Amino acid sequence: MPKTADRPLLTALAGVAVVELVLLRLGTRTLIHIPGLGRFEDPIHIVAEVGRFAYYLAVVLLLSTLVTLAYRGFQERSLQSSGNGAVVVGFLLVAGAGRLEMIPPPWVGGYATLAMVIVLVFGWKGWRSVPLLMFVVAALAAGWSALGQEFGAGFAVDQVDTLLLVAELALVLAGITSPLLLNQRPSRSVLLGGVATTVLFTTILVAANSTMSILLLWTAGVPGWLPAISYGVALGGLVITGWSALSTGQWSVGLGLVLLAAGGVGMISTYQSGLVLAGLLLIVGAPKDPHVPPIQRVEEQSEASTFAHV
């Protein structure tokens, strides 16, 4: 569904969403809990203001992206693309109604979870869609643990804990299986980068377990109950997939993963739900065989020529 002409907009959204995530949701929430930083109040205030600006800019870019994806969906006129376009239009209408307080906030989250399921069904590609299935399961479990209370489900504490544990397991599996989204095997350098990420992130989690658990809950929507190595391996898988996708022409998959990571699964805000919906649409709409950049084709031809002469 996304077109090459949309790449600058989508890249800008992914970049600004990461800045907002790092500065506003991670940076400011971490700094305020560190004792002795009172003398750095002004720099912290600047970081917070930049993070807020990134948030407002990300919202504008997200709205533009969703409108563009809806237009592309109706433009292609296939059942899948038109269905996805209708889902996006529905999300924009429901989000707008929620913003105007015409409907209760839980309805917005409920529609967002339904939209994820519909997009996954329309874009199902067999075993290659397993990572997306795991992500949607995580979103459903984490979302229902909160939304169920609003809709009168009346969960007990242990039932909420079970839903959050299911969400956490599914989210970790989504990261571990994410390389299934790739059209070709990752290079050796990409694999080494993924391994390094796994080791580094696992070490950080072990060293600052309580702090990282809180940050996981605020950003991804899961409480951080699993062993640290599981999150390290999941993040390593995401790095391998995203890096390989962006370097081999699967830009929709790479940018889509960034948006999913920035959105999380906790139904925390309409903004984050919108990021997730946009990310899913990018990935399910990605072409099966991406265009190979001219430089890569020249290198492949050169290697083939050299082999022939030998």
Domain ranges for the chain: 74-282
Q: How far is CA 78 from CA 6, 84, 90, 178, 285, in A?
A: 19, 10, 18, 27, 12
Predicted local confidence at residue 104, as pLDDT:
85
Return the closest-CA partner of residue 134 out of 166, 161, 157, 91. Answer: 166
H-type alpha helices, 7-156: 7-20, 29-31, 41-76, 79-99, 105-122, 130-150
Q: Are 194 and 273 in contact (CB under 8 A)?
A: no
Predicted local confidence at residue 65, as pLDDT:
96
What pLDDT, in 10s, does the model give residues 200-210?
999 988 887 77
Q: Which residues in the chain land under pLDDT 70?
A: 1, 29-40, 148-155, 287-310
- In this prediction the pTM is 0.86
Place of tokens 């090459």: 4
What pLDDT, in 10s, does the model give residues 174-194?
999 999 999 989 999 999 999
| Token couple for 289 | 């065989």
The contacts of residue 100 (CB under 8 Å, 6+ apart) are none
Place of tokens 């209408």: 93
According to DSSP, residue 37 is labeled -
